[in-house]
Amino acid sequence: MRRGGPGATPAAAPAGAARQPHAARPAGPASPASPASPASPAGPAGPDAARAAGLAEPGQRGGLAAVSTAGRPALALAVASAALLAAVVAGVCIGPAGLSPAAVADAILIRLPWHPALSVPALNAAIVWQIRLPRVLLGVLVGSMLAGGGASYQGIFRNPLADPYLLGVAAGGGLGATVVVVTGASQSLLPPAAFAGAAVAVAVTYLLGASAERSGKPAAIGGGTGSILLAGIAVAALLTAFQTYLQQQHTQQLATVYSWILGGLSGATWSDVWLILPYVAVSAIALLAHRRLLDVLRVGETEATSLGVNVARLRLSVVIAATLGVAAAVSVSGLIGFVGIIVPHTVRLTAGPSYRILLPVSMIGGAAFLVLADILARTVQAPNEVPIGVITAIIGAPFFLLVLRSRRASQDLS
């Protein structure tokens, strides 16, 4: 006899019970048994919603992995800061004079307003306060600007080989310094002349690149980026030719010019520190303020423009800020290579490509790297010094080749 009406419910219950394992499955990750069900999380919005909620299938990235990724910036900043602190302590304590850490600590304490009653030889105090401390602090400022400038140039031009000298900073600074040396002018004019030469070189490079962008087809060269890079190469070659000519005409000053080109911090004084500190502070603040826009630019200039970013203004602002700090650094340290390439790439491979963390960690890491390189420069052949540019090249070139061979580097540089 056929059952109907209310009697159909008991008859349907066993069939429902047979499907109970699927019906009672708790909501959560997508169920492969019902991929087309509209109510199932495995629909079109299912995986995205699961990832947004911090959930993931086994083997996928989510949950604790998301927490780990979120904690990476703090860990990277902590490691970089610890490395910088260790480098500064080592830079103050290590040197050809052979002062013990206790003697260095006493020499530092006697200059503090609340210092204890200590008897410190005047020579020890002079070595620490007049030679080592200004040298270490100048290395911190110069290294932070070279690394921060390199990271900024790489982001704004979307070119992994960009460095602070790409737009003619090195050539302009070298020409300015050469003019001061060969004309017999006061050595106190060396930093301002190098700064002026570097700034003028970058200004000419940018104007030439911008004019080529307006007269050509920006879409074919990445919105003017290619024009500016090519203009920088041409300007650097021209200024280097002038510098070489001046050196050949004044061979008696060749050793002085050559030592400045190789770079060094041997003549660092407190006046050098105070001279570049305002430029470094302004440059660092401006670059850090643009780090989120550099992240937006990573998706491409066209996409960044569609998101409301004025790419031309962003490029000009970052170039001016980076050049300001790098030119100030070059004016007191000479030409020190590889810092602006090695440090940002190392941070990118360890802390990720986001400029929110890449830029500040690169500045801190660049400061630590240059201080450690300077320690080698003044101790490896003590009492003589090796040019710090030689040290950074010996360390940087092989390391850069090793970094380029890694799989993640190939992905980041593509």
Q: pLDDT, tens digit, for every residue of 90-139?
A: 999 998 887 888 889 888 888 877 766 677 888 888 999 999 999 999 99
Contact between 218 and 224 under an 8 Å Cβ cutoff? The reply is yes
On the question of pLDDT at 333 being above 80, the answer is yes
Closest-CA residue to 334 (of 414, 296, 391): 391
* Residue 28 Ramachandran class (φ > 0 left, ψ -120 to 50 alpha, else beta): left
Distance between CA atoms of residues 23 and 31, nearest Å: 11
- Give all domains of the chain, ordered by start, each with its CATH number: 99-413 (1.10.3470.10)
pLDDT tens by residue, 271-314: 999 989 999 999 999 999 999 999 998 888 888 888 888 888 99
Distance between CA atoms of residues 343 and 396, nearest Å: 9
Contact between 111 and 125 under an 8 Å Cβ cutoff? The reply is yes
The distance from CA 287 to its chain's CA centroid, rounded to whole angstroms, is 10
On the question of pLDDT at 412 being above 60, the answer is no
* Residue 32 Ramachandran class (φ > 0 left, ψ -120 to 50 alpha, else beta): alpha
Distance between CA atoms of residues 258 and 326, nearest Å: 20
Average pLDDT, the chain: 78
**DSSP characters for 155-190?**
HHHT-TT--TTTTSHHHHHHHHHHHHHHTT--GGGH
DSSP for residue 2: -
Torsional sign, CA 28, 30, 32, 33:
positive
* 186 vs 79, more confident: 79
Closest-CA residue to 199 (of 313, 321, 291, 288): 321
Distance between CA atoms of residues 177 and 248, nearest Å: 15
pTM of the model: 0.76
Contact between 246 and 170 under an 8 Å Cβ cutoff? The reply is no
Q: Which helix (H) or strand (E) holds 388?
A: helix 388-405
